[in-house]
Amino acid sequence: MNRISIKLGLLFLAFILLIEIGLFFYLYTGLADTRISEELESLRLRGNSHREVLEKHHDSPTLSHVALMESEAETDVIITDKTGKVIGSSHPLVKGARKTVEQWEGHSFRYRGEIIQEYQKEKSYIATASPIKINDENVGTVYMFKNTKDIQDMIFRLQHHFYIVGIISVLFSIITVFALSKFITLPLIRMKQATQKLSQGDFSVKLGAHSRDELGQLGTSIQTLSNELHRLKQERNEFLSSISHELQTPLMYLKGYADVAKRSFNSEEERNNHLTIIQEEAQRLSQLVKDLFQLARLDQHTFLIQKQNVKLYPYLHNIIQHFDLALKEKDIQLQFDCPQAIELYIDPERFQQVILNLLDNALKYSESGTQISVRARELPTKVTITLRDQGIGIPSTDLPYVFDKLYRVEKSRSRKSGGYGLGLSIVKEIVEAHEGEVAIKSGVGKGTTVEISLRKDV
């Protein structure tokens, strides 16, 4: 038995008992009160009807007739004259009846009859009194009595029922506690164990089939969380190992060339060559570290995007100009097509990185004599910017992964063509930070098309 089911069970028990006590008081007092007032009422009416008979025939045969009738019935009667003297009574009488009559001697009762003894636990009877009036003159009183044994029995039976119901509901609550622990808290316990395992780094969490209620949804969420954590951990491990691998190679070069440059028998020219390589390598390394740093910041969402309205034509034109020299060197033509009117709400500095990286790829992975095009289009809800090249293309097996960090199609080519495989991941992060989308299409030997779409309303 676990703590939560005990808590829930006790709560449930308290709740049921509370309801039961409430119901008990309501029903018990209600039922008992009606029953008692019914008894009193019928006693009063009986007294009144004797009184009426006596008013019509106030003589001793009628008196003894009434007394005889009451001796046979469950009720008792005492009849007094106007001085309070008893002139007739049934037999036997309830205990204390005569005393009550003495107590009320000389009292003038209302004609409709009065209750002179209410139901009380310690009294064994109830009583009423009806005055006898002939020609508006008080000639005596009819006192009626009734034993309360019946009422007490009824109340006792009522209590008995309520006790039984009470015991049943306690039993029911205990059963419920067990059921609760099985059906409600068991999945909770399993989830608790699962999260404990998760926090200890064990991701082999299997929560099994889930119901469709909130608990089931919680289970599904935990399962998703666990899978996601697992994936992230794996990704991080892979990322770290590829980073260390990436760093290893340039550092090896640096060390190697530094060793060679140190040798005294090298000519001045050779030494300069080696130093240039060292410089380039250091440059590349510093770029890598910068890119990684940027990605890390993009990942953590710790950077602020400072958007402003940008006229797309001059903006793109300006970026493309950076490539003029490189394009000429490689004899690649660039077509630029952008309506003057397009305006975008973007962070110009960060978005420049996107275009730079994409153009860099297009240039890097194209043969000389080919064409690159940069085209912007305004659609009803979005603006698209498309970069197309006629370069070497990307095999379809690699295409899904090119946005991953440090992913390159040709691992060995990296030193020659210079990339670390971070460009496209930076592109994706920045575009997504602008709530845009980036899509890539490519075929080996056919060239590559990258399309960025940005929503106009953000």
Ligand X SMILES: Nc1ncnc2c1ncn2[C@@H]1O[C@H](COP(=O)(O)OP(=O)(O)OP(=O)(O)O)[C@@H](O)[C@H]1O
Residues that bind ligand X (CB under 6 A): 357, 361-362, 365, 389, 391-394, 402, 407-410, 419-425, 448
CB of 251 to ligand X, least distance (A): 18
CB of 285 to ligand X, least distance (A): 13
* 391 is an interface residue for Mg ion by CB under 5 A: no
**Which CB, 312 or 362, lies closer to Mg ion?**
362
CB of 356 to Mg ion, least distance (A): 9
The binder of 394, among Mg ion, ligand X, none, by C-beta within 5 to 8 A per type, is: ligand X
Of 258, 256, 247, 248, the residue nearest 289 (C-alpha): 247
Of 269, 272, 308, 295, the residue nearest 421 (C-alpha): 295
**Which CB, 16 or 295, lies closer to ligand X?**
295
Of 430, 428, 437, the residue nearest 404 (C-alpha): 428
The answer to whether 233 touches 205, Cβ cutoff 8 Å, is: no
Q: Which residue has the tokens 């309520």?
A: 162
CB of 337 to Mg ion, least distance (A): 23
Total residue count of the chain as it appears in this document: 458
CB of 424 to Mg ion, least distance (A): 6
The answer to whether 78 touches 93, Cβ cutoff 8 Å, is: yes
**Contact stretch for Mg ion (CB under 5 A) within 63-71, 170-178, 405-413, 417-425:** 417-425
Rg (CA), the chain: 51
CB of 453 to Mg ion, least distance (A): 20
The binder of 408, among ligand X, Mg ion, none, by C-beta within 5 to 8 A per type, is: ligand X
CB of 182 to ligand X, least distance (A): 54
**Which CB, 100 or 361, lies closer to ligand X?**
361
CB of 359 to Mg ion, least distance (A): 10
The binder of 392, among Mg ion, ligand X, none, by C-beta within 5 to 8 A per type, is: ligand X
**Contact stretch for Mg ion (CB under 5 A) within 23-31, 94-102, 325-333, 416-424:** 416-424
**Which CB, 19 or 251, lies closer to ligand X?**
251
**Which CB, 141 or 361, lies closer to Mg ion?**
361
Total binding residues toward Mg ion, as defined by CB under 5 A: 3
**Which CB, 47 or 419, lies closer to ligand X?**
419
The binder of 389, among Mg ion, ligand X, none, by C-beta within 5 to 8 A per type, is: ligand X
**Which CB, 226 or 353, lies closer to ligand X?**
353
The binder of 9, among Mg ion, ligand X, none, by C-beta within 5 to 8 A per type, is: none
CB of 424 to ligand X, least distance (A): 3
**What are all long-range contacts of 91-100, with beta carbons under 8 Å and residues at least 24 apart?**
91/67, 93/145, 94/124, 94/125, 94/145, 94/146, 94/147, 95/124, 95/125, 96/123, 96/124, 96/125, 97/125, 97/127, 97/143, 97/145, 100/127, 100/143, 100/145
Residue from 9, 88, 423, 436 binding Mg ion (CB under 5 A): 423
The binder of 44, among Mg ion, ligand X, none, by C-beta within 5 to 8 A per type, is: none
**Which CB, 63 or 394, lies closer to Mg ion?**
394
Q: How far apart are CA 151 and CA 140, in angstroms?
A: 30
CB of 427 to Mg ion, least distance (A): 8
**Which CB, 148 or 361, lies closer to ligand X?**
361
Cα 19 to Cα 1, 10, 15, 172: the distances in Å are: 26, 14, 6, 14
The binder of 407, among Mg ion, ligand X, none, by C-beta within 5 to 8 A per type, is: ligand X
The answer to whether 436 touches 452, Cβ cutoff 8 Å, is: yes
The binder of 131, among Mg ion, ligand X, none, by C-beta within 5 to 8 A per type, is: none
Q: How far apart are CA 351 and CA 359, in angstroms?
A: 13
> What token pair was written down for 184?
């409600």
CB of 299 to Mg ion, least distance (A): 18
The binder of 140, among Mg ion, ligand X, none, by C-beta within 5 to 8 A per type, is: none
The binder of 362, among ligand X, Mg ion, none, by C-beta within 5 to 8 A per type, is: ligand X
For Mg ion, the binding residues in 339-368 under the rule CB under 5 A are: 361
Interacting residues toward Mg ion by CB under 5 A: 361, 419, 423
